[in-house]
Structure 1
């Protein structure tokens, strides 16, 4: 597709051009933070997320320093999917 002039008014774009521009603006989130973030990834309660974290299933996807928890979303979902 042709390069879109940045000065083009939004109302002059076709749907295809608008979708192309909006795809460039959205950035996929790679990390979640804390037990609330883990619960959000897994779609469960914070207490269940805490149990899953404590089980060690997701150790490769979680970085923890003191109270700060960082979760790699993609890796966590892969590890959780492998565990039965």
Structure 2
């Protein structure tokens, strides 16, 4: 098998079938490992608005509003005007460590 870099320098019409397959296989293997490494660090999950809190915790709208108003998950909330974005992992961690008597733990 030729070096992948030398195959990249060759015009496409001059590649043999084997060289072409080696080139595709070499580049896809490299990109798959790069993508999996990058996704470990950059992938975060967010929910949006009161309805996002409802779906995350499977609760009613009033319970979601009460939870947001309580300040328990304030560190997980980004709010600009009426737009609300909640970091899922952080919100669940804050709820797990919650010691406020007003909110029930299950």
- TM-score higher than 0.5: yes
Using CA pairs under 8 Å that are at least 6 residues apart, name the structure with larger relative contact order, 1 or 2: 1
User: Residue in 2 aligned with 1:62?
Assistant: 77
Moved over 2 A (4+): none
What is the TM-score with the length of structure 2 in the denominator? 0.51
- Provide the C-alpha distance between the structure 1 equivalents of 2:76 and 2:57, rounded to a whole number of angstroms: 13
Query: For the pair shown, which has the larger CA radius of gyration, 1 or 2?
Result: 2
Could you say what the CA RMSD is over the residues aligned between the two structures, in angstroms?
1.7
When the two structures are aligned, how many residues end up with a matched partner?
60
User: Residue in 1 aligned with 2:46?
Assistant: 31
Aligned counterparts, 1:67-78, within 5 A? 67-78=82-93
What is the TM-score with the length of structure 1 in the denominator? 0.64
Q: List runs of 5+ in structure 1 lacking aligned partners.
A: 6-23
**Larger % of helix: which?**
2
Q: List runs of 5+ in structure 2 lacking aligned partners.
A: 1-24, 26-35, 100-106
